[in-house]
Amino acid sequence: PGYKQHSEILESMIIKLYSKGVTTREIADLIEKMYGSHYSPAQVSNMSKQMIPKVEAYHKRKLSDKFFCVYLDATYLPLRRETFEREAVYIAIGIKPNGHKEVIDYCIAPSENIEVWT
């Protein structure tokens, strides 16, 4: 049905915007202006929670190949949690023998420390 397809497209767009760091309030305002559909910030937040199982599966996935080289680094990004402070995002990037780069995994922590690096 047309409405169901429209709803699925909006939900997919909401998840993509949220994953890019757009706030729930900004997403709700944008959807209302563009499509005339009203979504509250709480509804947007609930839709974005659909990503949690996908993120958990990503962290637990089996690595498919061997890596020629692995880079480990951390950078600070502004993340919206209880505060708007910057948090450390640790990332492991592997380079396969064919030269293809792959994000092996990542971790977010309030600051850099030996426990998180371990």
Q: What is the separation of C-alpha 13 from the centre of its chain, rounded to a whole number of angstroms?
A: 13
Q: In 56-84, which positions are buried (b, 16+ CB within 10 angstroms) versus exposed (e)? A: eeeeeeeeeeebeeeeeebeeeeeeeeee
Which 3-state string (H, E, C) describes 19-88? HCCCCHHHHHHHHHHHHCCCCCHHHHHHHHCCHHHHHHHHHHCCCCCCCCEEEEEEEEEECCCCCCCEEE
The larger pLDDT score, comparing residue 80 to residue 115, is at 115
Q: Is 6's pLDDT higher than 90? A: no
pLDDT in the model for residue 82: 63
Per the prediction, the chain carries an average pLDDT of 80
Question: What pTM does this model have?
Answer: 0.62
Q: Of the candidates 40, 9, 36, 8, which has an alpha carbon nearest to the alpha carbon of residue 27?
A: 40
In the chain, the percentage of residues whose pLDDT exceeds 90 is 17
**Averaged pLDDT, 43-50:** 78
Q: Is 60's pLDDT higher than 80? A: yes
pLDDT in the model for residue 96: 92
99: burial class by Cβ within 10 Å (0-12, 13-18, 19+)?
A: exposed
Which uninterrupted H or E stretch holds 104? strand 101-109
The larger pLDDT score, comparing residue 21 to residue 103, is at 103
